[in-house]
Chains A and B, each alone.
Chain A
Amino acid sequence: MTATADRPKAKALPKTKPRGRKRTVGDWIVLAFAILIAVMIVFPFIVILINSFKSPADYANGGPLTLPTGLYFDGIVNFWNRVDFPEKLWNSFFISGVVAILAVVVSVMNAFALGIGRVKGRIPLILVFLLANMLPQEVLLYPLYSIFRAVGLYDNVWAVIITFVVIQSAFGTYLLASVFGTFPKEVLEAAALDGAGRWRILWRVIVPISRPTLGVLMVFFFIWTWNEFLIPLTFLISNANQTVPVAISVLQGDRLMDVTTTSASALLGLIPTLIFFLIFQRTLTRGITAGAVK
């Protein structure tokens, strides 16, 4: 487990140009296979894209595989207004953003004590954090539901925020504890010689130096929280509090949703994450490998 984010070396594929080596028939077959798989993976996106701009009549005539005869925005506009999409976007954005920031702060403090402070019993503690991240959420669901009802946080975005701060920071603690465990000691010593206390060293030395890793964590927490379903579905029952995935899924099979509106709903659901993907593509590929590579 390393913070690959701190090592720019490992991030991209070897940028070597294709050498003048001969490409055999076999190579072309492998390439064709790789491209075929890519086309199959992209195909559903394209189908959803072209059908979201069709009128139901256009769909009935041409079927799902033809290009729209004219651009038709009613499906998208209808769905947009029906679920009050900007409101759902804001809910998702607010929940995921707050979770990303708070979960990183909690992870940093935990990892400071575990990775740098090496408090007693840190191995069992790290296991507890790991377990918290591994558990199926169903096993927490009903008790949390009871707790949030009792304290008046049921159907409140903060119930979801608190829950995910804990679940995400459990992973963050696990990862950062080992990252901080290898923090260059000379830097810490130098800071201590300058008279800095632990609190200052944490925020003025450790956090700035670990910024790339923390950035990757924050992006992941944001996207993971955005994509969560079960807990927002259970705890946010009124329309005004729902997140994007919940709002889209509860309307599926609704009698008022015609075929192209349903397609438009899927399109609206995937656009935000596609935008995140385009913005954070590099961070993402760096980050997923950080969790796996030792």
Chain B
Amino acid sequence: MPTLTPPPAAAPAPPGRRRRPRTGGGIMPFASGRSYWWYLLPGLALITIIVLVPLVWNVYLSFTEYRGIIAPRWIGLDNWTRLFDDERFWMSFRNSIGMVVAMVVVPTLLGLVLAAALFDVVGRKFGGRLASFLRATYYLPQILPSVVAAIVIGWILRPENGALNTILDAVGLGFLANNWLGNPDTALLSIMVVLVWIQIGYPVVIFMAALQRVDPELYEAAELDGAGWFHRFRAITLPMIRPEVFVVALTCTIAALKVFGPVYALTGGGPNNATIVPSYYSYQQFFQSQQVGYGAAIATALTIVIVIVSIVFVWAQNRSERKEQEQ
């Protein structure tokens, strides 16, 4: 039965004052029932089987030679040293930089401009409904499965009689017509276009939500003072939504490092490895070359990169927040 002494403040009750030390307190120390650990049991069991065990297993496989049939054979660091001399591996990460440009840099910059334009100009001068409508339009490609989005753009880029080549012809730029996905010089760029198209709506939505924290009076005052649009953007908008910029940049960078579907659907990493990315490379090693150990090393390397990137981002964010507070 519950006792009537209200628990102290919001923080978890210190162990000494807990009424039921056996079952734990939390912010509801007085309710009877089984220990909270029982509630974690299914979740922890699942995450152990589906994530933790495979993760450790994959790291182990990266130190073995394994072709999927006979048991893995321990070969120490061989896969890892091979990785460092493997030009395709470095190529795949160089292409990842292209993915980061397409999924983080361009959408964030363009997203900032569009969000500010919708919020600051379209919303105020032409009505909130128009701004909402445009925002929804930008967001449209975001909800597509990335392979389907890739197929849509891939269809437009078809070499024979494709839509883009037809348009180029029609405006007198026919000499630019190209086998966009088949040419090593433009294949990566084509994949990047797919990703920009998919990604652009995400920062716009997040940034616009963030802008709602800004007091509209601030803009009006700045405008009355004769501050131009760009000035207002730099002095008010940007500092206001910096936390969201960090969140968008981090989540999109992680997503960019993981790109798989568009490469699988459009180029298969080709032509001539021009569009190979780490996730596709490891998939190839797992299921096409049967080099499971080597694929595991690539996947592990990708994981390490993602963890490092996340740590650096969080560190940078904390630092910038601290600086802000010091000012």
The tally of CB-CB contacts under 8 A between chains A and B is 349
Cross-chain contact B39 with A223 (CB below 8 angstroms): no
- In the complex formed, the residue of A with least CB distance to B164 is A64
Report the Cα distance A285→B206, complex, angstroms. Answer: 9
Q: Chain B contact residues (Cβ within 8 angstroms of A): what range?
A: 35 or more
Contact of A266 among B131, B152, B208 (CB under 8 A): B152
Set of chain A residues within 8 Å of B1, measured between Cβ atoms: 195
Cross-chain contact B144 with A227 (CB below 8 angstroms): yes
Query: Contacts A142-B286, A188-B27 hold; do A45 and B151 have CB atoms under 8 A apart?
Result: no
Q: Give the contact stretch, choosing among B50-58, B75-83, B172-180, B184-192.
A: B50-58
A124-181 interface (Cβ within 8 A of B) = 125, 128-129, 131-132, 134-147, 162-163, 165-167, 169-170, 173, 181
A211-232 interface (Cβ within 8 A of B) = 223, 226-230
0/1 per residue, A1-38, Cβ < 8 Å to B? 00010000010111111110101001100110111011
- In the complex formed, the residue of A with least CB distance to B292 is A142
A253-290 interface (Cβ within 8 A of B) = 259, 262-263, 265-266, 269-270, 273-274, 276-277, 281, 284-285, 288-289
- In the complex formed, the residue of B with least CB distance to A180 is B27
Q: Which residues of A contact B (CB under 8 A)?
A: 4, 10, 12-19, 21, 23, 26-27, 30-31, 33-35, 37-38, 41-42, 44-45, 47-48, 51, 59-60, 63-65, 106-107, 109-110, 112-114, 116-120, 125, 128-129, 131-132, 134-147, 162-163, 165-167, 169-170, 173, 181, 183, 185, 188-189, 191-193, 195-199, 201-202, 223, 226-230, 233-234, 244-245, 248-249, 252, 259, 262-263, 265-266, 269-270, 273-274, 276-277, 281, 284-285, 288-289, 291-294
Closest 7 CB pairs of A and B: A117-B36, A198-B33, A143-B54, A289-B209, A269-B148, A117-B26, A143-B57
Q: List 7 A–B pairs whose Cβ atoms lie within 8 Å, in order of A's numbering.
A: A17-B127, A26-B229, A30-B121, A135-B51, A138-B279, A163-B50, A228-B145
Q: Which residues of B contact A (CB under 8 A)?
A: 1-2, 4, 6-7, 10, 12, 24-28, 30-34, 36-37, 39-40, 42-43, 46-47, 49-55, 57-58, 61, 110, 114, 117-119, 121-128, 131-132, 134-141, 143-149, 151-156, 158, 161-163, 166-167, 170, 197, 200-202, 205-206, 208-210, 212, 216, 229, 243-244, 247-248, 254, 257-258, 260-261, 264-265, 278-279, 282-283, 286-287, 292, 295-296, 298-300, 302-303, 306-307, 310
